[in-house]
Amino acid sequence: EPEVTQTPSHQVTQMGQEVILHCVPISNHLYFYWYRQILGQKVEFLVSFYNNEISEKSEIFDDQFSVERPDGSNFTLKIRSTKLEDSAMYFCASSGGGLVKYASYNEQFFGPGTRLTVL
């Protein structure tokens, strides 16, 4: 069964450093998303990406964040200058077409997450 993969599984960084989180969405999916979950809280939408551009973003997704699809398979989230409050689990998701049996076009599939710790 196709799945979304994310690397690294854990990332520890110093405050002020740049981090890039990597995701490989399900092949042939057209929509890509990033979400975050601060420990013990609910999952929050950050950004959606379609046709090589951001389609929607939340107020959390400020100028410190950027996304990129550098090639046909990867989808990255960059945080330019990390803050303590950026510590969270970051989930990538994809939807729209693809090779998942019986899945609806709008059904989102989540990766296992990257746990980011900012010291």
Task: Give the nearer residue to another protein in terms of CB position, either 82 or 95.
Answer: 95
The minimum distance between CB 48 and another protein, in angstroms, equals: 6
Task: Give the nearer residue to another protein in terms of CB position, either 10 or 18.
Answer: 10
The minimum distance between CB 16 and another protein, in angstroms, equals: 26
Output the CA–CA distances (angstroms, integers) from residue 20 to 10, 48, 113, in the order listed: 12, 17, 13
The minimum distance between CB 26 and another protein, in angstroms, equals: 12
The minimum distance between CB 40 and another protein, in angstroms, equals: 10
Task: Give the nearer residue to another protein in terms of CB position, either 34 or 82.
Answer: 34
Cβ neighbours for 78, distance < 8 A, ≥ 6 positions apart: 18, 19, 20, 21, 65, 66, 67, 68
DSSP notation for 13-81: E-TT--EEEEEEPPTTEEEEEEEEE-TTS--EEEEEEETTEEEEE-TT--TTEEEE--SSS-EEEEESS
Task: Give the nearer residue to another protein in terms of CB position, either 51 or 106.
Answer: 106
Rule CB under 8 A: which residues touch another protein?
33, 35, 37, 41-45, 48, 56, 58, 89, 91, 93, 103-104, 106-110, 112-113, 115
